[in-house]
């Protein structure tokens, strides 16, 4: 998965990668040449007392060193830029895929896991790319070049390398193989910490209301301890690698000095050559250590790449049409024919053969007990998820055949839990219509019964709104969400229990203003409160995902027992009549 991911996202950067490899090659060649120059200075300059030779070769060493530094800086520069660009591209790809997900796919992965995959997992892959460009490219060149140069100095002494390099490779391989499952477990535990932390931040008011602070502390401590224990287990294994490598390095250095001294004593080798051989041995070992350092990141990056590919390889259940309809003849006619919906793995469907017709200029209400499928039914229209059976039509065209932008302009949804984005009142209201004027914003606020409290805010339309709208009350948040949809001016309005946080007076005033504003549009209201929907042109009663009644208030009161029970649970017989 890691190779596949890198092959996909490194493709556009062939030129900088080629230049980077060239710079790394030149830098490594310069590094390999320096010990030979040093050996010549010792053997031909110091031993013979030739000061001119020492100065000439010393100047050459300075030039080679400067070239090495320049090439190294250039390689690191291009490597860092390319790695950052790859990280940016992978994050963008994951973000774009998540944006295409329906509620079904988001629920499958979970928001905390998707956040971790987009941030931490991508960062691990990016770091591996950076280390590959700065370490892994030069490591094999240095290792092979060091072996060749060492063989050129003294073949018999090079036998030490035959023993050292395989031992290092075996040690590194054994440790890396054990790291991979530990890194996967660590990423899963990181997901858990993110999930618990997200729940505690989002549900802070509930935690305080039930005085569950101690319980939540214990729950976070348990998740945090699990992550810590797994990190320690991984760290202990990582910490074992460097002592093992350094032990092999030191033993090999001792062996080289021991056998090299005998070679010098027998006249088969010069002192400068031994010095150069030791330098090449250290370069070979350093190249192995650089590769080792990178290989320590490979298991975690591989796990992260798998998790990223799980997102990228997941197709949304809401598929855009291949030949989308970009224009509608009529305006706002909504029809649901035999719609059914079942969540993956669920024993029973949420909706069963639901039929519903909503026409322009009419208000259609949907009511039912909790869990009857009202919100799910409304979610089928803007394609938050697609019906698993039946079809949903707007102006006679299935929503699955409509261009997503056309559908978004045609259908405006006020969700059951209105969400406001960090910014200002104006930026939130313009979310559906970026070109709306201030006058249009104030008009929408007035219809939504929100103008008065917005005018009291410091800054008015420019008043700050925190993430999720937590700095305003629930009723204010609902009215701002309604105003946001009014600014959009769709042809079909869907209100998913959008008046539940309003008092009766505000509810009545809002519905009266909405009736004037949406007189020519199609309005579908899902509500628990009977007073909100009793004057609707058509009321659809849902029970366990089925339509058990359709009609006006007085008709349903007379012949629909389910509706009658819902009404009498909120109103007296006289009030209901």
Checking if the pLDDT of 85 tops 90, the result is yes
CA dist., res. 536 & res. 518, Å (int): 13
Checking if the pLDDT of 84 tops 80, the result is yes
Q: Where are the beta strands (DSSP E) in 304-410?
A: 334-341, 351-358, 363-368, 389-394, 397-398
**Parallel, antiparallel or unpaired: strands 351-358 and 334-341:** antiparallel
Mean pLDDT within 117-140: 84
Cα→Cα distances 564→28, 537, 538, Å: 85, 17, 15
The per-residue DSSP string of 18-73 comes to HHHHHHHHHHHHHHHHHHHHHHHIIIIIITTT-HHHHHHHHHHHHHHHHHHHHHHH
Q: Which residues are registered as beta bridge partners of 389?
A: 340
Checking if the pLDDT of 545 tops 70, the result is yes
Mean pLDDT within 377-399: 89
Checking if the pLDDT of 273 tops 80, the result is no
Checking if the pLDDT of 240 tops 70, the result is yes
Other C-beta atoms lying within 10 Å of the C-beta of residue 389: 14
pLDDT band at 90 (very low <50, low <70, confident <90, very high): very high
pLDDT band at 574 (very low <50, low <70, confident <90, very high): low
The segment(s) of the chain belonging to CATH 1.20.1560.10 are 1-152+297-316
CB 234 within 8 A of CB 179: yes
For residue range 446-493, list pLDDT tens digits in order.
999 989 889 988 888 999 988 888 888 888 889 999 999 999 889 999
Is residue 336 helix, strand or coil?
Answer: strand
Which of 186, 170, 167 is CA-nearest to residue 116? 186
Q: Give, to the nearest 10 degrees, the angle between helix 138-153 and helix 14-40.
A: 30
Q: Give, to the nearest 10 degrees, the angle between helix 159-202 and helix 138-153.
A: 160
Checking if the pLDDT of 296 tops 80, the result is no
What pLDDT does residue 323 have? 85
Token duo for residue 396: 């006679």
Q: Of 166 and 63, which is predicted with more confidence?
A: 63
pTM: 0.70
Query: Could you give the strand order of the β-sheet that contains 334-341, starting from the edge strand earlier in sequence?
Result: 351-358, 334-341, 389-394, 397-398
For residue range 201-213, list pLDDT tens digits in order.
778 778 887 778 8
Which of 390, 424, 409 is CA-nearest to residue 485? 409
Cα→Cα distances 71→134, 384, 550, Å: 11, 53, 78
The segment(s) of the chain belonging to CATH 3.40.50.300 are 334-575
CATH number for the segment(s) 1-152+297-316: 1.20.1560.10
The number of residues making up the chain comes to 577
Residues in contact with 66: Cβ distance below 8 Å, sequence separation at least 6, in sequence order: none
Q: What is the DSSP letter of 133?
A: I
Cα→Cα distances 101→386, 400, 448, Å: 12, 15, 31
- The CATH superfamily label for domain 334-575 reads P-loop containing nucleotide triphosphate hydrolases (3.40.50.300)
CA dist., res. 91 & res. 118, Å (int): 6
Residues in contact with 570: Cβ distance below 8 Å, sequence separation at least 6, in sequence order: 529, 530, 531
CB 432 within 8 A of CB 487: yes
What pLDDT does residue 577 have? 62
What pLDDT does residue 484 have? 92
Residue 352 phi/psi, 5-degree rounding, is -135, 110
Checking if the pLDDT of 215 tops 70, the result is yes
For residue range 406-451, list pLDDT tens digits in order.
888 889 998 888 888 888 999 999 987 888 899 999 999 999 998 9
CA dist., res. 396 & res. 388, Å (int): 19
């Amino acid at each position: 998965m890691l190779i596949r991911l890198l092959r996909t996202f490194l493709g556009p950067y062939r030129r900088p990668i080629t230049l980077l490899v060239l710079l790394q090659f030149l830098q490594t060649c310069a590094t390999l040449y320096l010990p030979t120059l040093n050996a010549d200075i010792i053997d031909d300059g110091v031993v013979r007392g030739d000061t001119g030779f020492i100065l000439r070769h010393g100047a050459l060493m300075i030039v080679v060193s400067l070239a090495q530094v320049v090439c190294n800086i250039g390689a690191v520069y291009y490597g860092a830029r390319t790695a950052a660009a790859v990280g940016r591209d992978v994050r963008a790809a994951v973000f774009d895929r998540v944006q295409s997900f329906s509620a079904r796919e988001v629920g499958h992965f979970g928001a905390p896991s998707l956040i971790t995959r987009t941030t931490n997992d991508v960062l691990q892959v990016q770091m591996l790319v950076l280390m590959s460009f700065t370490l892994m490219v030069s490591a094999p060149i240095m290792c092979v070049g060091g072996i060749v140069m060492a063989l050129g100095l003294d073949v018999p002494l090079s036998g030490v390398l035959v023993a050292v390099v395989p031992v290092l490779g075996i040690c590194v391989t054994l440790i890396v193989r054990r790291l991979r499952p530990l890194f996967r477990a660590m990423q899963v535990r990181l997901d858990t910490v993110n999930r618990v932390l997200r729940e505690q931040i989002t549900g802070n008011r509930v935690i305080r209301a039930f005085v569950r602070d101690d319980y939540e502390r214990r729950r976070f401590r348990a998740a945090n301890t699990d992550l810590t224990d797994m990190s320690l287990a991984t760290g202990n294994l990582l910490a074992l690698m460097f002592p093992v490598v350094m032990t092999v390095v030191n033993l090999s250095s001792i062996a080289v000095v021991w056998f090299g001294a005998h070679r010098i004593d027998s006249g088969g080798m010069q002192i400068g050559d031994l010095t150069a051989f030791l330098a090449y041995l250290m370069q070979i070992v350093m190249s192995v250590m650089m590769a080792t350092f990178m290989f320590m990141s490979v298991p975690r990056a591989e796990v992260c790449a798998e998790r990223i590919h799980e997102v990228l390889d997941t197709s949304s259940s809401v598929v855009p049409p291949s030949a989308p309809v970009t224009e509608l003849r009529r305006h706002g006619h909504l029809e649901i024919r035999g719609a059914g919906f079942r969540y993956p793995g669920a024993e029973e469907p949420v909706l069963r053969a639901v039929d519903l017709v909503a026409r322009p200029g009419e208000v259609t209400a949907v009511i039912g007990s909790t869990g009857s499928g009202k919100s799910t039914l409304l979610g089928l229209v803007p394609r938050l998820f697609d019906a698993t059976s039946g079809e949903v039509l707007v102006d006679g065209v299935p929503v699955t055949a409509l261009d997503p932008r056309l559908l978004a302009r045609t259908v405006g949804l006020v969700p059951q839990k209105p969400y406001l984005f960090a910014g200002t009142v104006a930026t939130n209201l313009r979310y559906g219509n970026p070109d709306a004027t201030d006058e249009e914003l104030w008009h929408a606020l007035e219809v939504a019964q929100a103008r008065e409290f917005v005018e009291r805010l410091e800054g008015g339309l420019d008043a700050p709104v925190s993430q999720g709208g937590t700095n305003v009350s629930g009723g204010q948040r609902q009215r701002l969400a309604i105003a946001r949809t009014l600014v959009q001016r769709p042809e079909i309005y869907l209100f998913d229990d959008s008046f539940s946080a309003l008092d009766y007076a505000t509810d009545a005033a809002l519905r009266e203003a909405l009736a004037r504003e949406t007189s020519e549009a199609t309005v579908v209201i899902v509500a628990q409160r009977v007073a909100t929907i009793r004057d609707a042109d058509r009321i659809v009663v849902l029970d366990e995902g089925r339509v058990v009644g359709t009609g006006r208030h007085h008709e349903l009161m007379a012949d629909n027992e389910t509706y009658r029970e819902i009404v009498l649970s909120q109103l007296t017989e006289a009030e209901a009549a």
